[in-house]
Chain A
Amino acid sequence: MSSLLSLSSITPRSWQGYAALALLAGAILLWPLVDAAPGYGIATAALIFLLLLLAIEADNFPPAIGVVLLFLGAHGAAWLLLAGITGNEGTARASFYLLLAAAWLLAWRCVTVLSALRPTSRWAATALRLIIPTIFGAWILIIWEAVTRGAGIPFILLPPPSAIGVRIANSLPMLAADVRQTIFKAVIFGYVVGSGAGFLAAIAADRVPFLRRGLLPIGNMVSALPIIGVAPIMVMWFGFDWQSKAAVVIIMTFFPMLVNTVAGLAASGHMERDLMRTYASSYWQTLFKLRLPAAAPFIFNALKINSTLALIGAIVAEFFGTPVVGMGFRISTEVGRMNIDMVWAEIAVAALAGSVFYGVVALFERAVTFWHPSVRGG
């Protein structure tokens, strides 16, 4: 155990480092890592320890090297731990989890160091903004994988992420067909029509004060109602295909758009409006040149809310009746057949689609509201 000999010279500089060192000591005391016969080879185990010790020692190096050591040490050790569990599923002992926890703490330390960096170039700042959450997300997956496989959690309950990944790779055509049915037909159509109708209703309400006074309280109230409950009714009216899902999406996206747009149209200041008046600009000129641009943040807020609502509405509506394709259909039937990995694959695709949808709207927003303080940064 060469790593034991060098323990005396190890000096951590952070609480995560000290905690990790204590966990390493605990792991040695509770040796071996797994109950299975071959288990981890001595070389692999030594390498895991070496990587973790390097990461603990990282704070004594110059910061640039230290961050790299922390990153490589924590993730390399995690990689080796996961690779070694193959064939020894369900036999992990306390020692295995202690090493995993040590690696996790060092990754935390890595994120802390990264968060404290104040990069000068814009490119580096963007890279940091992406790397930090990525490490966080990767650790959710690592811990999920390690615990499900290490403890041998039944597949039905929670499949490991690797199995879900394999399932996604093996059933791409089916997933693509589901996405086409649910997202490209129902969600997009419903989202565009619902948001557009909400927007036009808001303009109409803005033009007629009587309408605004009446619609706003109703719109606010409807926003709080469980609108998703109309799904079975829509399925009865419009049949099993995507039209009924689109109808649910239209109803769900209409009111957030209405309420937010009306609030946004009131956002421009009196000064600017008076200025437009002194220019003798008409209602429509004021609307297009001043009030709609000022309302843009509110409108985009509604579009973001709606992107999530539309996806939820379409998938839930599919539980009430579908043709034999679609994400909701797949989820509900595969649960019945206990193909939980397929269900998780569908969830992963839905999550990805939802994030992409949201991201596209957010990018549009940055392009349109480039003048807004939150985008300009200051």
Chain B
Amino acid sequence: MDSFRDKIVPVTSILAGVVVVWYVFAVILNAPFQRDLDRRAGETPGVVEFIGKTMSQPKPTLPAPHQVAVNFFENTFLRKVTSNRSLVYNAWVTLSSTLLGFAFGTALGIVIAVGIVHVATLDRSLMPWIIASQTIPILAVAPMIIVVLAAIGVTGLIPKALISTYLSFFPVAVGMVKGLRSPELTHLDLMHTYNASPSQTFWKLRVPASVPFLFTSMKVAVAASLVGAIVGELPTGAVAGIGAKLLAGAYYSQTIDIWSALVAGSVVAALLVMVVGIAGRIVDRAMGGRPA
């Protein structure tokens, strides 16, 4: 594995490359519209001035990175956190339903995994359906679920959290089934020699063995929960949240707003995955794991 120092130079240089390419594309994509504007205004700007103009349109086809950065900064740090234009507020709305759904999904996934590992009938009948459940594009029907639930008066956090639950239970269930089955036969035999009861075997051997699997799949699950929450906000009923910001931006062609909402979503996703990773490391250390 490469160490952190080995990675930092390539990662930063590739990111810098992405930014440069982004600027180039911003100029190329915004140029036709800018030419139209200039022709109507009867202006003939020089090359440098023209490039500068393509990077400062109010509704560009592709906003330049600094436009997104400025918009993101303004809507994050310069607005009251309670205003519904603040990205912090919108991110919080999305985050709250993400976390609720993630908690439900993780609990459900663990329960299903324990059932599958211990009950043969469940293993044979439920496992194929768990796989099939994820081939259903639930995200695509998420807005419908929200609308239908709203029709009977269920609104707010719960419907969005349900979609997050549906998306996040799967990785946890599959990962935990793997994890609970990860103890080797020799270890299970050893428990048998000690005359351990099934519950003792479960708590003292299977659960500790499954912890690394749990945190790996929780990383995937938390990212999926966030996507579920964002898509759950797409129906017009939602007035707040990152998904609602995306949709509003699409309606009014506020491209800069869309991009900064995307950045906000990405920041939240990165933070969530990081928090789960750190929690995993803390638990690992508390259980006496040594860095491999």
List chain A positions with a Cβ less than 8 A from chain B: 108, 111-112, 114-116, 129, 132-133, 135-137, 156-158, 210-211, 213-215, 217-218, 221, 223-226, 228-230, 232-233, 235-237, 307-308, 311-312, 315-316, 319-321, 327-328, 331-332, 335, 340, 343, 347, 350-351, 354-355, 357-358
Minimum CB–CB distance from B172 to chain A (whole Å) comes to: 15
Contact B249 A312 (CB under 8 A): no
Contact B124 A350 (CB under 8 A): no
Given contacts A213-B6, A228-B227, contact A221 B270 (CB under 8 A): yes
Chain B's closest residue to A227 (CB) is B227
Residues of the A chain whose Cβ atoms lie less than 8 Å from the Cβ of B143: 319, 331-332, 335
Q: Within the assembled complex, what's the spacing in Å between the Cα atoms of A135 and B122?
A: 12
Contact A236 B255 (CB under 8 A): yes
Given contacts A157-B151, A214-B14, A226-B269, contact A308 B7 (CB under 8 A): no
Given contacts A136-B126, A156-B151, A236-B255, contact A230 B262 (CB under 8 A): yes
Residues of the A chain whose Cβ atoms lie less than 8 Å from the Cβ of B148: 156-158, 335, 340
Contact A214 B249 (CB under 8 A): no
Residues of the A chain whose Cβ atoms lie less than 8 Å from the Cβ of B14: 211, 214-215, 218
Residues of the B chain whose Cβ atoms lie less than 8 Å from the Cβ of A228: 139, 227, 230-231
Q: Within the assembled complex, what's the spacing in Å between the Cα atoms of A191 and B220?
A: 21
Say yes or no: is B15 at the interface (Cβ < 8 Å to chain A): yes
Q: Within the assembled complex, what's the spacing in Å between the Cα atoms of A183 and B244?
A: 27
Q: Within the assembled complex, what's the spacing in Å between the Cα atoms of A213 and B242?
A: 32
Contact A357 B135 (CB under 8 A): yes
Minimum CB–CB distance from B16 to chain A (whole Å) comes to: 10
Contact A312 B124 (CB under 8 A): no
Seed contacts A312-B140, A321-B250; 19 additional CB < 8 Å A-B pairs: A111-B124, A114-B124, A136-B129, A157-B151, A213-B7, A214-B14, A215-B14, A218-B14, A221-B273, A226-B223, A226-B226, A229-B262, A232-B246, A331-B143, A331-B144, A335-B143, A347-B136, A350-B140, A350-B141
Say yes or no: is B265 at the interface (Cβ < 8 Å to chain A): yes
6 A-B pairs with C-beta separation under 8 A: A133-B129, A136-B129, A137-B129, A213-B10, A224-B220, A312-B139
Contact A232 B137 (CB under 8 A): no
Contact A116 B120 (CB under 8 A): yes
Question: Which residues of chain B from 247 to 290 have a CB within 8 Å of any chain A CB?
Answer: 247, 249-250, 253, 255, 258-259, 261-262, 265-266, 269-270, 272-273
Question: Which residues of chain B from 120 to 134 have a CB within 8 Å of any chain A CB?
Answer: 120-121, 123-129, 131-132, 134
The 3 closest A-B pairs by CB, nearest first: A214-B10, A315-B140, A232-B250
Minimum CB–CB distance from A313 to chain B (whole Å) comes to: 9
Minimum CB–CB distance from B148 to chain A (whole Å) comes to: 6
Task: Give the B interface residue count (CB, 8 A).
Answer: 60
Q: Within the assembled complex, what's the spacing in Å between the Cα atoms of A226 and B258?
A: 13
Q: Which of A136, A230, A237, A321 has the most C-beta atoms of chain B within 10 angstroms of its own C-beta? A: A136
Minimum CB–CB distance from B240 to chain A (whole Å) comes to: 16
Contact A316 B140 (CB under 8 A): yes
Given contacts A133-B125, A232-B249, A308-B134, contact A331 B269 (CB under 8 A): no
Q: Which of A136, A232, A308, A316 has the most C-beta atoms of chain B within 10 angstroms of its own C-beta? A: A232
> In the complex, which of the residues A232, A321, A355 contacts B135, with contact meaning CB atoms closer than 8 Å?
A355
Contact B137 A315 (CB under 8 A): yes
Say yes or no: is B152 at the interface (Cβ < 8 Å to chain A): yes
Q: Within the assembled complex, what's the spacing in Å between the Cα atoms of A252 and B230?
A: 16
Minimum CB–CB distance from A80 to chain B (whole Å) comes to: 24
Residues of the B chain whose Cβ atoms lie less than 8 Å from the Cβ of A350: 136-137, 140-141
Residues of the A chain whose Cβ atoms lie less than 8 Å from the Cβ of B2: 213
Given contacts A115-B124, A213-B2, A355-B135, contact A347 B265 (CB under 8 A): no
Say yes or no: is B219 at the interface (Cβ < 8 Å to chain A): yes
Q: Within the assembled complex, what's the spacing in Å between the Cα atoms of A115 and B127?
A: 13
The contact string, 1 if C-beta is below 8 Å from chain A, for chain B 11-33, is 10111000000000000010000
Chain B's closest residue to A338 (CB) is B151
Say yes or no: is B61 at the interface (Cβ < 8 Å to chain A): yes
Q: Within the assembled complex, what's the spacing in Å between the Cα atoms of A28 and B226?
A: 50
Say yes or no: is B113 at the interface (Cβ < 8 Å to chain A): no
Residues of the B chain whose Cβ atoms lie less than 8 Å from the Cβ of A320: 247, 250
Contact A213 B136 (CB under 8 A): no
Q: Within the assembled complex, what's the spacing in Å between the Cα atoms of A347 and B253?
A: 30
Contact B147 A335 (CB under 8 A): yes
Question: Which residues of chain B from 137 to 159 have a CB within 8 Å of any chain A CB?
Answer: 137, 139-141, 143-144, 147-148, 151-152
Chain A's closest residue to B167 (CB) is A312
Contact B137 A343 (CB under 8 A): no
> In the complex, which of the residues B137, B227, B265, B273 contacts A354, with contact meaning CB atoms closer than 8 Å?
B137
Minimum CB–CB distance from B162 to chain A (whole Å) comes to: 14
> In the complex, which of the residues B131, B141, B151 contacts A343, with contact meaning CB atoms closer than 8 Å?
B141
Q: Within the assembled complex, what's the spacing in Å between the Cα atoms of A315 and B253?
A: 21
Contact B121 A108 (CB under 8 A): yes
Q: Within the assembled complex, what's the spacing in Å between the Cα atoms of A235 and B259?
A: 14
Residues of the B chain whose Cβ atoms lie less than 8 Å from the Cβ of A221: 270, 273
Q: Within the assembled complex, what's the spacing in Å between the Cα atoms of A320 and B231?
A: 12
Residues of the B chain whose Cβ atoms lie less than 8 Å from the Cβ of A211: 10, 14
Say yes or no: is B214 at the interface (Cβ < 8 Å to chain A): no
Given contacts A214-B10, A217-B11, A232-B258, contact A226 B227 (CB under 8 A): yes
Chain A's closest residue to B226 (CB) is A226
Residues of the A chain whose Cβ atoms lie less than 8 Å from the Cβ of B126: 136
The contact string, 1 if C-beta is below 8 Å from chain A, for chain B 151-176, is 11000000000000000000000000
Residues of the B chain whose Cβ atoms lie less than 8 Å from the Cβ of A129: 124
Contact B151 A331 (CB under 8 A): no
Minimum CB–CB distance from B59 to chain A (whole Å) comes to: 10
Contact B230 A311 (CB under 8 A): no
Q: Within the assembled complex, what's the spacing in Å between the Cα atoms of A331 and B121?
A: 36
> In the complex, which of the residues B61, B147, B152, B230 contacts A229, with contact meaning CB atoms closer than 8 Å?
B230
